[in-house]
């Protein structure tokens, strides 16, 4: 205690106030959700952990909480590591800002781009305990609507003309229809005979294999709406036949009225009610369905082919990958691409990095017969919490998956390729530690003396020997003593150092 008395006398001429440093208590993140930009579809703010200002905190973004999903829908994880001089000046250095611009090409963020207002919450995740967080917000964000490409009008694949029931129209169907007509095929089932009656005339005649030939050469591209058929009661599955009973009638109209205003994603029944394929059930669908009369037609149903494409290259310096993917069944569709790294025995698929969209211009792909805009050029960012794991200077094995437009459970794997991203340079926020900057705020002042004093007093208690405080160990000898005080004092009096 004599040492402290002497030191107190020495400091009397420079000290006017003091702030005691508390023992280690986990304080929750502080910060602010400052603003939104509707035109840019972006948000900004800051967050920091008052227990350790050297740490960069993750921020999680959620939208539109409800009774069924109290937390709301998760949009993504990001990092608060951008410069905010005003936050630095307020006593929370260094680089704790977040400036997040959402992208319609990111599969998760794309749901913001519907032109509707969304309630946004930002969560600052604690550095010591990631189960703890501070909620900021809400604020309302309305991003410009990005209209998805309209989907084509497609009937159910179980169509007349597919005599052998393999999901496609081929010469095998034409031959089978001829054989049924001629009597050569004596084992055809009632279902196959119904499918061979392509024009629904009530019998298999010469017009049926001729019509199959027209399908094959492209002369005809539509199938009749299926009449009720006892041999094949669920033959249609067509848009407009909402209840899938093989005919279009007032029951379907009543179901359309029930689903009126419903938006995608749809149930299978709701999908059949979206007759015009614009992702919402409206008066337009009812009008289009009402126009179907006797002999009305639907487009033939293509076989669902998996995505095609290529994982073309990587750029280690830019930490980016590129390639293309498209759905050969519908080239108007933009496909999601999912990126995974480093598969292993314990995680066969590898670690998920993120979902993106293949919607960039690739003239070479267009020229190859896959127009338009099916390229992906993905530059990963160290400020994205998921992508940040790439920035460790290690070589990662990367796979890209093109997700099918009709069936999102189907995909095509591209790769692997290896990607080595340069480690993110760490910003030193404690460059004056050896000069007496105990709290690492970039200056040497009385607050640093308070830290030294608190450490010195704590360590003087015998029961604290197993848990020493060494924040003010300026000379690196793993103890806090008068030598460290002398270092602080010299730094404090050195006018060439920041104060």
* CB 139 within 8 Å of CB 62: no
Exposure of 64 in the CB half-sphere (CA atoms within 13 A): 10
Q: Is 133 helix (H, G, I), strand (E, B) or coil?
A: strand
Q: What is the pLDDT of residue 182?
A: 84
> What are the two backbone dihedrals, phi and then psi, of residue 452, each rounded to the nearest 5 degrees?
-60, -45
How far apart are alpha carbons 377 and 312 in whole angstroms?
10
Write the DSSP assignment of 353-383 as a string of letters: EEEEEE-B--HHHHHTT--S--EEEEE--TT
Strands 222-224, 97-101: pairing kind: unpaired
Query: Do 25 and 37 form a contact (C-beta atoms < 8 A)?
Result: no
Pinpoint the alpha helices (H) of 329-460: 363-367, 446-459
Q: Are 471 and 457 in contact (CB under 8 A)?
A: no
Phi, psi of 73 (to 5 degrees): -95, 130
Inter-residue contact 301 to 159 (CB < 8 Å): yes
Dihedral-angle region of residue 105 (phi above 0 means left; psi in -120 to 50 means alpha; beta otherwise):
alpha
pLDDT for position 293: 47
Phi, psi of 141 (to 5 degrees): -125, 130
**Phi-psi bin for 209: left (phi > 0), alpha (psi -120 to 50), beta?**
alpha
Rounded to an integer, what distance in angstroms lies between the CA atom of residue 392 and that of residue 387? 11
Tokens linked to 306: 């998996």
- DSSP state, 106? B
Of 1, 4, 2, the residue nearest 485 (C-alpha): 4
Residue among 240, 236, 47 at smallest CA distance from 125: 47
For residues 285 and 399, what is the distance between their CA atoms, to the nearest angstrom? 41
- Each of the 499 residues of the chain gets a pLDDT tens digit; together they read 444 444 554 554 444 333 333 445 788 999 999 999 999 999 999 999 998 898 999 999 999 998 878 888 899 889 998 988 889 888 888 789 999 999 887 878 888 998 999 999 999 999 888 888 999 999 999 999 886 544 332 333 345 677 776 656 678 878 888 888 888 888 888 777 877 777 666 678 887 788 777 766 656 544 443 332 333 333 334 567 777 665 666 777 788 888 888 887 777 778 778 777 677 888 887 777 665 544 444 433 334 678 999 999 999 999 999 999 999 878 888 999 999 999 988 888 888 999 999 999 998 998 888 888 899 999 999 878 789 889 989 999 999 999 988 777 788 999 999 999 988 765 555 788 888 888 888 888 888 888 888 888 888 888 777 778 888 888 888 888 888 888 988 988 887 888 7
What local confidence, expressed as pLDDT, does residue 178 receive? 84
| Fold assignment, 308-420 | Immunoglobulin-like (2.60.40)
Name the nearest CA neighbour of 142 among 173, 120, 125, 166: 120
Q: Is 78 helix (H, G, I), strand (E, B) or coil?
A: strand
DSSP state, residue 231: T
Joined together, the tokens standing for residue 276 give 């015009």
The listed CATH number (2.60.40, 3.30.9, 2.40.30, 1.20.1740) that belongs to domain 30-142? 2.60.40
392 SS3 class: coil
User: Domain boundaries in the chain?
Assistant: 30-142, 171-299, 308-420, 430-493
Helix (H) or strand (E) holding 490: helix 482-493
The first and second tokens of residue 438, run together, are 């105990």
State the Cα–Cα distance between residues 248 and 259, nearest whole angstrom: 16
Residues ≥6 apart with Cβ < 8 Å to 36: 42, 43, 44, 120, 139, 140, 141
* pLDDT confidence of residue 15: 45
Using alpha carbons, select from 427, 358, 355, 351 the residue that is nearest to residue 390: 351
- Residue 160's nearest CA partner among 87, 72, 66, 235 is 235
Are the folds of 30-142 and 308-420 the same?
yes
């Amino acid at each position: 205690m004599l040492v402290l008395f002497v030191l107190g006398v020495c400091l009397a001429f420079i000290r006017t106030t003091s702030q005691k440093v508390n023992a280690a208590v986990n304080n929750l993140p502080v910060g602010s959700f400052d603003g939104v930009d509707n035109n840019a579809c972006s948000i900004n703010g800051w967050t920091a952990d008052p227990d350790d200002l050297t740490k960069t905190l993750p921020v999680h973004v959620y939208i539109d909480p409800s009774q069924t999903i109290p937390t709301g829908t998760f949009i993504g994880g990001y990092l608060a590591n951008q410069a905010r001089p005003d936050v630095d000046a307020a006593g929370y250095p260094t680089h704790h800002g977040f400036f997040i611009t959402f992208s319609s090409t990111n599969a998760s963020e794309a749901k913001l781009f519907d032109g509707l207002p969304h309630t946004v919450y930002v969560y600052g995740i604690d550095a010591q305990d990631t189960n703890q967080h501070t909620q900021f917000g809400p604020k309302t964000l309305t991003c410009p609507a990005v209209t998805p490409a309209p989907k084509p009008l497609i009937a159910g694949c179980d169509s007349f003309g597919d005599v052998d029931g393999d999901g496609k129209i081929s010469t095998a169907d034409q031959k089978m229809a001829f054989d049924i007509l001629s009597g050569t095929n004596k084992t055809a089932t009632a279902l196959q005979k119904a499918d061979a009656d392509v024009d629904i005339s009530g019998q298999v005649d010469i017009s049926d294999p001729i019509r199959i030939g027209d399908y094959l050469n492209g002369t005809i591209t539509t199938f009749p709406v299926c009449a009720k058929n006892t041999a094949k009661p669920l033959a249609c599955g067509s848009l407009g036949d909402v209840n899938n009973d093989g005919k279009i009638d007032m029951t379907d109209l009543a179901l359309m009225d029930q689903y009126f205003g419903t938006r995608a994603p749809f149930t299978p029944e709701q999908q059949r009610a979206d007759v015009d394929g614009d992702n919402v059930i409206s008066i337009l669908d009812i009008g289009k369905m009402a126009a179907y009369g006797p002999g009305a037609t639907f487009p033939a149903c293509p076989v669902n082919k998996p995505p095609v494409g290529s994982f073309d290259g990587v750029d280690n310096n830019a930490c980016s990958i590129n390639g293309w993917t498209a759905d050969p069944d519908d080239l108007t569709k933009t496909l999601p691409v999912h990126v995974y790294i480093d598969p292993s025995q314990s995680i066969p698929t590898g670690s998920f990095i993120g979902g993106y969209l293949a919607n960039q211009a690739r003239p070479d792909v267009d020229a190859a017969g896959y127009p338009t805009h099916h390229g992906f050029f993905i530059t990963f960012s160290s400020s994205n919490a998921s992508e940040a794991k790439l920035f460790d200077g290690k070589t990662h094995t990367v796979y890209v998956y093109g997700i099918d437009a009709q069936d999102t459970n189907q995909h095509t794997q591209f790769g692997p390729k290896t990607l080595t991203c340069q480690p993110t340079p760490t910003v030193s926020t404690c460059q004056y530690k050896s000069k007496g900057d105990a709290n690492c705020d970039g200056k040497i002042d009385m607050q640093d003396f308070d830290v030294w004093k608190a450490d010195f007093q704590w360590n003087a208690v015998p029961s604290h020997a197993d848990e020493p405080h060494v924040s003010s160990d300026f000379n690196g000898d793993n103890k806090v003593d008068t030598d460290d005080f002398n270092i602080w004092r010299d730094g404090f009096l050195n006018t060439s150092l920041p104060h």
